[in-house]
Structure 1
Amino acid sequence: MKPLLIAAALLLVPAVAQAQVAAATVPNSFDRPAARTQQPVPAPSAAAPGPAAAPAPAMSTTPANARSEEVLREIIAGGQAGALPYATMTDDLAAKVREQEAAVLPILQGFGAIQALDFVGSQEGADLFAVTFATAATQWIIGFDDAGKVDALLFRPAE
């Protein structure tokens, strides 16, 4: 698992105040690039060009982990029942999520029943799912370590 994916982040829906929990700062490579604005492009200088930025890795159409949907459903169901399944998580992630449990559980419970859970893509070892609940549309990112434990978890409102 890429070191930058070691994160536990839970983002509240905009109607409830914006809040976030993170184990580390993680760039969100699942988002589409921001729309370009029409700004003049500076003329190239005579000096040697600097290093080019590496392109973002392409998103795969197959899950990085065959268990990701099953485990994600288990995490959501556990949260809605009031008992997150910490045994599925790494110790570090479980500790980060426990710190936010009192705030996260009511949010998950308020979403209502899952209406749809769809795999969107996989990038750098993590899988992205679109999860539509009775009262909210969300995006979830889940990643696993080499031992098969969840070491990256994020949910946020869908765009």
Structure 2
Amino acid sequence: MIETQARVVAVQGGRTWVQAARRSSCGQCSAAGSCGGSLFAQLFGNRPVRVEVDNPLQAQPGQGVVVGVPERLMLSGSLHLYLLPLLGLILGALLGQGLFSGQAGELPAILGALLGLFAFPALWRWLKPVLAATTSLPIIMRIQTEGLPVAPPGSNEEKKPCL
């Protein structure tokens, strides 16, 4: 389970939303000033993200919480974000080349690749409500009490060496 800290912002009709700061490991090491990843983190900022979570502890708005994200959910999101467009790109190029081979050179493969690149993620958005019953939400693991440090026990907040 991957954990992060957040604050409950809304509880409505059995649904709970939390807001967490986007964190990047960039900027946490001693090479932050000369690293390209750190530059991207500065450009895109650390805007907070709002997420619906499962709330078995009945946390209320304004409370600080620790939210757990199952590894399976992270893996699934990564596959959908990276694998589906790549698969669509390759299959679209093969389909475009196969259907229109010998006509207009490489143009059918290029157009097929672009169509597949955008069609597969759109297909996922269409299928997502059907598959939503099998997906899980991040879960509130514990409620933070005021006055305690926000870093989880055992974490090291100082600059870490880059590997």
TM over 0.5: no
Structure number having the greater helix percentage: 2
- Larger-gyration structure (1/2): 2
